[in-house]
Amino acid sequence: MASGKFITFEGIDGAGKSTHIPFVTQLLRDRGLTVVATREPGGTELGERLRELVLHHKMHLETEALLMFASRREHLAQVIEPALARGDWVISDRFTDATFAYQGGGRKLALDKLDRLEQWVHPHLQPDLTLLFDVPLEVARARLDAERTLDKFEQEKADFFANTRAEYLRRAAQFPHRFRLIDSTRPIAVIQEDLRAIVAAL
Ligand SMILES: Nc1ncnc2c1ncn2[C@@H]1O[C@H](COP(=O)(O)OP(=O)(O)OP(=O)(O)O)[C@@H](O)[C@H]1O
Ligand SMILES: Cc1cn([C@H]2C[C@H](O)[C@@H](COP(=O)(O)O)O2)c(=O)[nH]c1=O
Sketch the domain layout of the chain as residue ranges: 6-201
Distance CA 58, CA 24 (A): 34
- Architecture of the domain whose range is 6-201: 3-Layer(aba) Sandwich (3.40)
Which residue out of 8, 12, 19, 132 has the highest number of ligand 1 atoms within 8 Å of its CB and is therefore the one to mutate?
Answer: 19
Round to whole Å and give the CA distance between 194 and 20. 11
Mutate-to-test residue for ligand 2 from 8, 74, 152, 153, highest number of ligand atoms within 8 A of CB: 153
Confidence label for 144 from pLDDT (cuts 50, 70 and 90): confident
Contact indicator for 85, 3 with CB cutoff of 8 Å: no
Residue closest to 102 by CA, chosen among 149, 165, 157: 165
> Is 152 annotated among the ligand-binding residues?
no
State the average pLDDT over residues 11-18: 96
Higher-pLDDT residue of 148, 94: 94
41-59 pLDDT tens trace:
999 999 999 999 999 999 9
Band the pLDDT of 1: cuts 50, 70, 90: low
Please report which ligand is nearest the Cα atom of 70: 2
**Which residue minimizes the CA distance to atom 8 of ligand 1?**
16
SS (H, E, C) the chain: CCCCCEEEEECCCCCCHHHHHHHHHHHHHHCCCCEEEEECCCCCHHHHHHHHHHHHCCCCHHHHHHHHHHHHHHHHHHHHHHHHHHCCEEEEECCHHHHHHHHHHHCCCCHHHHHHHHHHHCCCCCCCEEEEEECCHHHHHHHHHCCCCCCCCCCCCHHHHHHHHHHHHHHHHHCCCCEEEEECCCCHHHHHHHHHHHHHHC
Using CA positions, which residue lies closest to atom 2 of ligand 2?
A: 98
Ligand 1 pocket by Cβ (under 6 Å) = 11, 13-19, 133, 143, 147, 184, 187-188, 191
Share of the chain above pLDDT 90, in %: 91
Distance from the CA of 14 to the center of ligand 1, in angstroms? 5
Instruction: Answer yes or no: is 16 a known binding residue.
Output: yes
Q: Residue 18, annotated ligand binder?
A: yes
Looking at all shown ligands, the one closest to residue 182's CA atom is 1
> In this structure, what is the dihedral angle of CA atoms 171, 19, 13, 197, given to the nearest 10 degrees?
20
Residue 14 is assigned to a ligand binding site: yes
